């Protein structure tokens, strides 16, 4: 059935010069409110809407399919709204998605507003340009069975909350992972972990390299978790950057060779891996030493970063185009960090970069072989 309309809204829709603007009202649990729109205006009730709203995606509603939801993009150039994400102020926040209708003059009083969707906020991604949030139907926001607890891999507790997280130390941030130096393990706080995962990580294969101190055995082929990869943007279907640490099973990685997307089969975060840097004239990437790099459009296997001697070719993707490049420098850094072992359902080729705007270095995913060495698939 159609949405109900008021007499005023009916008159606005009948106006051949009607204008419309998407709006988003965010009501945080700490009483802070944000009112965003695709154009700045003051509502008839005095509410001031700023023009920070980039885009409201397609509202997905179904009787029998997945949970009703919509994705929203808000500008983050000024970093004002983006500060709410690491501060965890968006947890349990309410979002109201609507549309403002008016006459030829945006400042005329002859206008009306209609609510289109309401739900609970879930941050998706953030970079220096935008914050992407998802609004989930509030009847199912806590879980898919109207539960009070979400079956999510990350910890669900507010960091340093006295009644749940309980951490009161001096570390200012937490990545919400149980077995992570930047999460519960590094905070000596695993007993307060509030996420859902297997009690212990799967045991990796024995070390086979020359360095017995490698945290994951030296063969884990993965980008560092602060790197960016290209995933499908749900509202446009185009590739967009997303930080590796924020990847989930719902993401699809972009294959620059075919222009297609592949679902993530599994993703596992491995701490204490030696980090290598790969630098080409256009980009730089940080990963474990066995991370395979694609050299040409005909290369479907790749060569491990640690095997490069500085004369290899490298395939680069930028703004929809593939082009050849070459290695400037490969270094084993003095750092050890957490990397993400990504396995894809198909294709097995994606791209990564140290910055969200690229260019991106084309690479390959892999799995450990029976002997602990890399087998490219």
CB 362 within 8 A of CB 347: no
Structural domain of 58: 7-137
Establish if 221 belongs to a structural domain. Answer: no
Does residue 187 sit in the same domain as residue 265? no
Q: Residue 182: inside a domain, yes or no? A: yes
* CA nearest to 91, candidates 159, 18, 13: 159
If pLDDT is split at 50, 70 and 90, which confidence band does 370 have?
Answer: very low
Which has the higher per-residue pLDDT, 122 or 259?
Answer: 259
In a domain, 2, yes or no: no
Q: Which residues of 4-40 are buried (b: 16+ CB within 10 A; e: fewer)?
A: eeeeebeebeeeeeebebbbbbbebeeeeebbbbbee
Q: Residues 161, 101: one domain? A: no
**353 falls within a domain:** yes
* Assigned domain for 206 exists: no
Q: Is the same domain home to 131 and 187?
A: no
Q: What is the pLDDT of residue 110?
A: 61
Looking at the fold, whether 238 and 301 belong to one and the same domain comes out as: yes
The reported pTM is 0.44
Residue 352 near residue 360, CB atoms below 8 Å? yes
Question: What phi-psi label fits residue 347: left (phi over 0), alpha (psi between -120 and 50 degrees) or beta?
Answer: left
> How many domains would you assign to the chain?
3
Considering the domain architecture, whether residues 298 and 247 belong to the same structural domain is answered as yes
Establish if 146 belongs to a structural domain: no
pLDDT higher than threshold 80 for residue 190: yes
Question: Are 76 and 123 members of one domain?
Answer: yes
- 49 and 101 assigned to the same domain: yes
Determine the pLDDT at residue 105: 60
Residue-wise pLDDT for 111-169, tens only, equals 778 888 988 888 888 888 898 988 888 666 654 444 556 667 788 888 998 888 989 98
Distance in angstroms (rounded) separating the CA atoms of residues 369 and 377? 10
In this prediction, residues 221-242 reach a mean pLDDT of 89
**Do residues 366 and 261 share a domain?**
yes
Residue 63's pLDDT is: 59
pLDDT given at position 218: 43
Q: Tell me what pLDDT residue 268 has.
A: 87
The two tokens of residue 57 are 């995606």
- Give the separation between CA 169 and CA 261, rounded to whole angstroms: 42
Please indicate, yes or no, if residue 80 is contained in any of the structural domains: yes
Average pLDDT, the chain: 80
- Assess whether pLDDT exceeds 80 at residue 65: no
Whether 116 and 236 share a structural domain: no
Give the separation between CA 372 and CA 115, rounded to whole angstroms.
Answer: 56
Task: Kindly report, residue by residue over 87-104, the tens digit of the pLDDT.
Answer: 678 878 899 999 888 766
Residue 9 binned pLDDT confidence (cut-offs 50, 70, 90): low
Same domain, 107 and 192: no
Same domain, 183 and 295: no
Instruction: Give me the CATH number covering residue 344.
Output: 2.170.16.10
**Would you say residue 222 lies in a domain?**
no
Q: pLDDT (tens digit, 9 = 90+) per residue, 284-332?
A: 999 999 899 999 988 888 899 988 988 889 999 998 899 999 998 899 9
């Amino acid at each position: 059935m159609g949405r109900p309309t008021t007499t005023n809204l009916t008159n606005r829709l009948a106006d051949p010069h009607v204008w419309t603007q998407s709006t988003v009202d965010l009501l945080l649990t700490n009483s802070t409110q944000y009112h965003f729109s695709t154009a700045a205006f003051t509502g008839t009730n005095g509410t001031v809407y700023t023009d920070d709203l980039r885009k409201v995606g397609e509202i997905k509603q179904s009787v029998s399919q997945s949970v009703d939801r919509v994705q929203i993009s808000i500008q983050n150039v000024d970093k004002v709204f983006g500060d709410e994400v690491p501060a965890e102020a968006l947890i349990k926040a309410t979002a109201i998605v609507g549309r403002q209708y008016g006459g030829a003059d945006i400042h005329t009083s002859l206008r009306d507003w209609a609510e289109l969707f309401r739900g609970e906020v879930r941050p998706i991604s953030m970079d220096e340009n935008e914050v992407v949030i998802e609004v989930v139907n509030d009847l199912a926001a806590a879980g898919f069975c109207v539960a009070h607890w979400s079956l999510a891999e990350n910890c669900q507790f507010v960091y340093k909350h006295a009644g749940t997280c309980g951490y009161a130390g001096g570390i200012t941030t937490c990545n919400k992972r149980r077995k992570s130096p930047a999460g519960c393990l590094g905070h000596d706080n695993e007993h307060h972990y509030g996420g859902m995962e297997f009690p212990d990580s799967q045991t990796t294969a024995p070390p086979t390299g020359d360095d017995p101190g490698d945290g994951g055995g030296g063969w884990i082929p993965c980008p560092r978790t602060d790197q960016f990869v290209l995933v499908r943007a749900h509202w446009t279907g185009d590739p967009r950057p997303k930080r590796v640490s924020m990847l989930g099973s719902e993401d699809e990685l972009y294959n620059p060779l075919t222009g297609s997307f592949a679902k993530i089969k599994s993703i596992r975060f491995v701490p204490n891996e030696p980090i290598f840097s790969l630098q080409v004239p256009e980009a730089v990437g940080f990963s474990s030493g066995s991370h395979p790099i694609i050299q040409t459009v005909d290369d479907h296997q790749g060569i491990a970063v640690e095997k490069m001697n500085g004369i290899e070719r490298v395939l680069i993707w930028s703004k929809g185009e593939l082009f050849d490049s070459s290695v400037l420098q490969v270094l084993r850094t003095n750092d050890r960090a957490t990397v993400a072992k990504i396995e894809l359902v198909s294709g097995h080729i994606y791209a990564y970069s140290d910055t969200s705007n690229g260019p991106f270095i084309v690479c390959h995913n892999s799995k450990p072989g029976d002997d602990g060495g890399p087998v490219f698939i």
